[in-house]
Amino acid sequence: MEIILAGGTGQVGRLLVRALTSQGHSCVVLTRRPPAEAPTPLLREVQWDGRTLGPWCADLEGVDAVINLAGRSVDCRYTERNLEAMRSSRVDSTRVMGQAIAACSRPPAIWLQAGTATIYSHRFDAPNDEITGSLGGAEPGVPALWGRSVDIARAWEAELNAAPTPATRKVVLRSALTLSVDRGGVFDVLARLARLGVGRQGNGRQFVSWIHEHDFVAAVLFLLSRSDLTGAFNLSAPHPLPNRDFMACLHEALGTWAAFPVPRVLLEAGALLRRTETELLLKSRRVVPTRLLQAGFRFQYEDFSEAVDELISRWRPQPRPASSGTILSRRRWLRS
């Protein structure tokens, strides 16, 4: 297959490009940076700005698939300026992708659009799925700022739905935390914190939804191959678990000697110092992949205890770069 990956230079993009090219698919990555030399003839970088049509649109002609992952990192304070950058980078890149596809004489067969499991409500009592799940934004007792992330997620999906691309199948990836062993990724950061003795965050009751990188790649390939599937899909393992259990599994796999709970007030102080927010750690994302399971997708890693053993067997912590600041500053995934 020939696949365009917009924003394919980030954490998720890198793991997809690696997997797709290793299986012989050719990838074109759209990036705002000057294109870098590719390590394989199956990979090419093309510049775009994520907002306007340009010469990059020619690369969409006749390709099999487009995967749009572009968006400003959400690892930041939710100032009005940052919220607007988070929103516009997602909505504008989705809009211009729709315009580019609509202008193709041979449009891609499928458009996979990144979304997020954050779109669902903060919830403990029951899982949220694509069919009966409740979207967030109106839950009582949650910080108002959490509603702003939900608004962004909804606007992102609305832009995809509005795109006039009748010949292209559209799928939204409502992804949970995507766990890979890449440096700076979610798992790398959590494992480092656990090694330092960090245990559950807050009261630890909040659910963590996650997906192993192998299942993420397999699910993307599954969605690419199944021409009957459209709409929103939760890319999350079938068994989300409370944060306290998630951290306990991680500690057990690492063989750490102690795990200290981090109370909410300390998390908030750390987030303030680090210029980020605590939503990713404290919002209860109890999200399950009903539509993938109904479509016949089988997860290799359904339980976190299995996933964490596999990940730890490959995880190789590296020293912090001198410029990376505090330990907390490694949490670039925090707002993803």
Ligand X SMILES: NC(=O)c1ccc[n+]([C@@H]2O[C@H](COP(=O)([O-])OP(=O)(O)OC[C@H]3O[C@@H](n4cnc5c(N)ncnc54)[C@H](OP(=O)(O)O)[C@@H]3O)[C@@H](O)[C@H]2O)c1
Q: Does 93 bind ligand X (CB under 6 A)?
A: yes
Closest C-alpha to 217, from 61, 28, 11: 11
* Binding residue for ligand X, selected from 20, 56, 71, 146, defined by CB under 6 A: 71
- Rounded to whole angstroms, how far apart are CA atoms 178 and 68? 16
- CB-based contacts of 4, cutoff 8 Å, min separation 6: 27, 28, 30, 59, 60, 63, 65, 66, 67, 108
**32 forms part of the interface with ligand X (CB under 6 A):** yes
Which residue's CB atom is positioned nearest to ligand X?
A: 10
Site for ligand X in 315-334 (CB under 6 A): 333
Q: From the list 3, 4, 7, 217, which residue makes contact with ligand X (rule: CB under 6 A)?
A: 7
Site for ligand X in 228-267 (CB under 6 A): none
Rounded distance between C-alpha atoms, residue 199 and residue 325, angstroms: 22
Closer Cβ to ligand X, 93 or 128, answer by number: 93
Binding-site residue total for ligand X (CB under 6 A)? 26
Cα–Cα distance for residue pair 333/211, rounded to 1 Å: 14
The helix/strand/coil state of 28 is strand
CA distance 236 to 234: 6
Instruction: Candidates 159-167, 172-180, 191-199, 278-286: pick the segment binding ligand X (CB under 6 A).
Output: 172-180
Is position 276 an interface residue for ligand X (rule: CB under 6 A)?
A: no
Contact flag: residue 220 with ligand X (CB under 6 A): no
Near ligand X by CB under 6 A: residue from 96, 186, 241, 281: 186
H or E element, residue 240? none
Q: Of the listed pieces 10-18, 199-207, 264-272, 288-296, which binds ligand X according to CB under 6 A?
A: 10-18
Q: How far apart are the first and last CA of the chain?
A: 28
Q: Is 96 in the site for ligand X (CB under 6 A)?
A: no
Q: Are strands 207-208 and 241-242 parallel, antiparallel or unpaired?
A: antiparallel
Sites of contact with ligand X (CB under 6 A): 7, 9-13, 31-33, 50, 69-74, 89, 93, 114, 116, 175, 177-178, 186, 333, 336
